[in-house]
């Protein structure tokens, strides 16, 4: 489906087109194999780095593209139309990891990590725990000061990019009695003694995207690896997750757009009762409704991203965009399966995968209920 071109500059359209072409040429042929293997293709990840897609928001001084947050949203959307699992790899790298380090890291930390994150190092964002999902700051992972170091003990769950990542932004509490004011962020490299990657989850969708547990057992992290200030981790988490929700919204818009495209093409070529499905008014109306919902979700995501880039408040718009895009992605992907009929229920066609991929949109980076709570607070509070 054609994007809302009136919302894009010429440079943005060219960038989006180039990412779409890459997704069609290089991601699409690997999508089914990666899904079945539950593993990201290593060569594809290298290509994504070489194209600069893992360093879109990273300034040129650190070897990145020096692009905007909106550019990252365009890339995530374009890739996710082909494979949302690859889309979330690019999304987490740009909207969570790079953004958090750019905003909160010391100059020395930026010099050490930003060039690598742009060139070859995957990042991961480690906040969730068994008892800490929607209640994001009910953390049990502890960080205890010992001389010039902190000793981390605990477990993280459902960490995206964990298998591929070389750097993890890890949230732990330095004072459980202080509640959210004890939460502190640390930069922990893969291979640090006492830190291991645990079980990889066997997921319903986005199966090529690794989701693993992290285990910290007397993991010694130098105090110089703290990200931001002690006890300020909650601010890092809140700010970056608000932005990350826009990225997930883009992933879901891309997914829905991809599903719609498959359904529309199928309706034009599949014949019943002597004519293509697309010539039946009922099918036309269904595809028209799907197209309208995708476009509405896209404009909400674009609006939230534009507001973020302009430096104005966007929290409500980000919550609305993420919530609505997740609704649209699941509905459109489901209807796409129905357009395909029996063929849509088998793995030979991509709509089956996109339907599975869509479900996570209502769950991660803030459940739909949490988005509604935010929306209610920020709208009803003004009455």
Q: Which residues are catalytic?
A: 365
E runs forming strands in the chain: 122-126, 142-146, 149-160, 165-173, 183-189, 195-200, 211-222, 226-227, 271-272, 275-276
**Please, which residues have CB within 8 angstroms of residue 382's CB and are 6 or more apart in sequence?**
none
- DSSP assignment letter at 334: H
Q: Largest alpha-carbon pair distance within the chain?
A: 79
What does the alpha-carbon distance between residue 161 and residue 93 come to, in Å, rounded to a whole number? Answer: 9
**Nearest to 45, CA basis, from 211, 252, 208:** 208
Burial of 328 (0-12, 13-18, 19+ CB in 10 A): buried
**Please, which residues have CB within 8 angstroms of residue 87's CB and are 6 or more apart in sequence?**
76, 77, 79, 80, 250, 251, 254, 255
Would you say the C-alpha torsion 348, 253, 84, 201 has a positive or negative sign?
A: negative
**Nearest to 56, CA basis, from 74, 43, 33, 35:** 74
Structural tokens at position 260 = 């719609």
What does the alpha-carbon distance between residue 357 and residue 374 come to, in Å, rounded to a whole number? Answer: 25
Q: Which residues of 351-369 are buried (b: 16+ CB within 10 A; e: fewer)?
A: bbbbbbbbbbbbebbbbbe
Calculate the alpha carbon distances from 84 to 2, 118, 378 in Å. 18, 21, 30
Tell me which residue has tokens 């459980």: 176
| Dihedral of the alpha carbons of 100, 198, 42, 118, in degrees to the nearest 10 | 20
- DSSP assignment letter at 204: S
């Amino acid at each position: 489906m054609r994007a809302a071109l009136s919302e894009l500059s010429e440079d943005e359209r060219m960038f989006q087109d180039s990412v779409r072409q890459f997704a069609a040429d290089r991601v699409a042929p690997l999508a089914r194999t990666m899904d079945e293997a539950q593993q990201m293709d290593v060569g594809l990840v290298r290509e994504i780095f070489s194209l600069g897609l893992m360093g879109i928001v990273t300034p040129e001084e650190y070897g990145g593209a020096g692009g905007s947050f909106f550019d990252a949203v365009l890339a995530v959307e374009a890739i996710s139309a082909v494979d949302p699992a690859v889309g979330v790899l690019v999304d987490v790298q740009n909207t969570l990891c790079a953004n958090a380090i750019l905003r909160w890291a010391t100059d020395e930390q930026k010099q050490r990590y930003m060039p690598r994150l742009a060139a070859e190092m995957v990042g991961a964002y480690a906040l969730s725990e068994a008892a800490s999902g929607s209640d994001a700051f009910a953390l049990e992972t502890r960080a205890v000061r010992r001389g010039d170091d902190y000793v981390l003990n605990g477990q993280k769950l459902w960490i995206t990019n964990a298998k591929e990542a070389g750097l993890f932004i890890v949230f732990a509490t330095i004072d459980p009695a202080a509640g959210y004011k004890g939460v502190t962020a640390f930069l922990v490299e893969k291979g640090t003694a006492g830190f291991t990657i645990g079980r990889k989850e066997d997921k319903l969708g986005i199966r090529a995207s690794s989701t693993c547990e992290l285990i910290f057992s007397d993991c010694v992290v130098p105090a110089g690896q703290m990200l931001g200030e002690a006890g300020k981790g909650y601010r890092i988490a809140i700010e970056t997750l608000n932005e990350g929700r826009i990225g997930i919204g883009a992933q879901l818009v891309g997914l829905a757009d991809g599903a719609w495209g498959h359904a529309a093409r199928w309706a034009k070529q599949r014949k019943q009762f002597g004519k293509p499905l697309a010539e039946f008014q009922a099918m036309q109306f269904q595809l028209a409704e799907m197209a309208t919902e995708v476009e509405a979700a896209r404009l909400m995501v674009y609006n939230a991203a534009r507001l973020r880039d302009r430096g104005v408040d966007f929290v409500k718009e980000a919550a609305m965009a993420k919530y609505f895009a997740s609704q649209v992605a699941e509905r459109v992907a489901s209807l796409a399966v129905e357009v395909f009929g029996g063929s849509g229920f088998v793995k030979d066609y991509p709509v089956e995968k996109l339907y599975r991929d869509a479900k996570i949109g209502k769950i991660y980076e803030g459940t739909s209920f949490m988005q509604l709570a935010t929306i209610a607070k920020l709208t009803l509070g003004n009455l």
